Amino acid sequence: MLDDFLIRAALAGVGLALAAGPLGCFVVWRRMAYFGDATAHAAILGVALALAFSLSIFAGTLGVALLMALTVSTLAGRGWAMDTTLGVLAHSALAFGLIAISFVHGVRVDLEAYLFGDILAVSRSDLVFIWTGATLVLALLAWRWSALLTATLSEDLAQASGLNPARERLVLTLALAVVVAVAIKVVGALLIAAMLIIPAAAARSFARTPEAMALFAILIGAASALGGLFASLHFDTPAGPSIIAVAAVIFAAAVSFGALRQRA
Amino acid sequence: MTLIAAKDVSVRFGGATVLDNVSMTVHPGEILTIVGPNGSGKSTLLRALLGILPTSSGTVTQKPGLRIGYVPQKLHIDGSLPMTVRRFLSLPTRHSASDASAALARTGMAGTEAKQMTDLSGGQFQRVLLARALLTKPEILVLDEPTQGLDQPGEAGFYRLIEEVRHDLGCAILMVSHDLHVVMAASDRVICLNGHVCCEGAPHVVSNAPEYRALFGLGTRGALALYQHVHDHDHSHDHGHGHDHAHPHHLAEDHAHDA
């Protein structure tokens, strides 16, 4: 069954949605959209390093994404004006990554695969990485769920309940780095943040509790992945952008649905 | 046995000393209010007492295993986060449906479980925060400016609720307020803070202390009297009456009589 590239692609997309859905909810709730962008863009630098030192792409992106996520989260903890700082970090990480990759011989042709994903070329070992990473993230979030939610509502409230908001921030930072490493093959560095934010934002229209929103975000993410794959085959469009485009269409429909329901 | 004790606590942010050698204790069952002007370190002291904020020097000791119910100053729930009242009450610790509905009934919010937190008015929101704090069966309730943003009847109603809760549960209550006129009558003890403890004692003692007067001026006397009348359910045309009290002694007697 796994011999079929389409089945592998579908499994990769669903695996990513499983982790990106709940994590994306936190990205939306905590207004970390740019944070996700900065981490994802840094992944290109990770790809360059991995190629230069013959490491696995997963290890390279995971390492650099983790470094970037930790940097950003430390700066945020010190009260920097995050808007500008993140803008600087996100785009310079991308620029340096692109320059670094240009030095690595023979990769220039493949660059598009890392920027926009190459889900149709997902191998069996890629699948193992994707599902292992996604399961880890999901387990981590499930384990810390209540604490994460409380810290997201109010750090004071969390601390008064004996929780440590800094630790919960670190949990999200770790999860984000893993998701970036998992997602680069599926939707590519430029569209990872979209895979986090769009399904979660679309899920908001249907949900009355945080748990429901996380579940809907998984379903919408998975539907986008499958729909995008189908569209990519049917219309011969690039797979990664097609997945995000389907997510965007679902988002637009969800927002209209939400607006209608509010008026009713 | 004291519930929480601060000994010579100082807190400095950068070069600025926000709290300077503050010592205080909270006893079981008492309503203790910290008053002080804006920037006097009230919230900082509260956060230090809760262990949220590390002290620069001095020590804070809590009774071992102390159950604290905390009502934060303000809580903004982002519109992107769907949250029913019921779900909110179980953060971070799960509580049974019957406990949750009892806590809501206790704070006058019965039957609101399915409402979205973002749909509540300011007063309702505060009552849900209080219900959440009650669910931990607290030995002490800690409230940071709990009536900010409420109108005057809302304020008076909220403080009446606090008194009821203390009466029913017998827990101590530690509050911070800058609108002392409302809080005074509801407190057993008042600490007047301005970076350091200016004065402390029963409300009528503090309101007559020269340190307190220096901080708040004399204008608040009228407001205090005004509140006393509201509190006694007197007729509204009596309000002006308060401003006529020339002698602070008169007021203090008024208050003692009231208590």
Q: For A180-211, give the DSSP string.
A: HHHHTTTT-GGGHHHHHHHHHHHHTTT-SSHH
The model carries a pTM of: 0.85
The H-assigned helical ranges of A78-209 are: 82-103, 111-116, 124-153, 155-160, 165-183, 192-203
- Bridge partners (DSSP) listed for residue B176: B34, B144
Question: A2 φ, ψ to 5°?
Answer: -75, -5
CB B100 within 8 A of CB B86: yes
- Distance from C-alpha of A227 to C-alpha of B5, rounded to nearest angstrom: 61
In a mutagenesis test of the B interface, which of A27, A78, A154 is the best target, namely the one with the most B β-carbons within 10 Å? A154
List domains and CATH numbers for chain A. 5-191 (1.10.3470.10)
Residue type, A175: A
The span from the first CA to the last CA of chain A, in angstroms, equals 47
Distances (CA, A) of A160 to A39, B67, B129: 31, 10, 13
Pairing of strands B140-144, B172-177: parallel
What are the pLDDT digits (tens) for A75-128? 776 766 677 888 888 889 889 988 988 888 765 557 888 888 889 999 999 999
Contact check, Cβ <8 Å, B92/A207: no
Determine how many CB atoms are found less than 10 A away from the CB of residue B33.
Answer: 25
What are the pLDDT digits (tens) for B103-136? 999 999 999 999 999 999 888 999 999 999 999 8
Distances (CA, A) of B214 to B40, B201, B219, B224, B249: 14, 17, 11, 16, 17
What is the pLDDT tens value at each position of chain B, 259 positions in all? 799 999 999 999 888 889 999 999 999 999 999 988 888 888 899 999 998 888 999 999 999 989 999 998 878 899 999 999 999 999 999 999 999 999 999 999 999 999 999 999 888 999 999 999 999 899 999 999 888 778 888 888 888 888 888 888 899 999 988 766 767 677 889 998 988 998 888 888 887 788 887 777 655 444 444 344 333 443 444 444 444 433 333 333 344 343 3
What are the pLDDT digits (tens) for B158-170? 888 888 888 888 9
Pairing of strands B68-71, B196-201: unpaired
What are the pLDDT digits (tens) for A1-48? 667 989 999 999 999 999 999 999 999 999 888 888 889 999 999 988
Contact check, Cβ <8 Å, A213/B82: yes
**Nearest-CB residue to A28 (from B50, B80, B91):** B80
- Residue from B189, B198, B194, B132 nearest B165 by CA: B132
Q: State the nearest Cα–Cα gap between A40 and chain B, in angstroms.
A: 22
**Nearest-CB residue to A210 (from B81, B94, B114):** B81
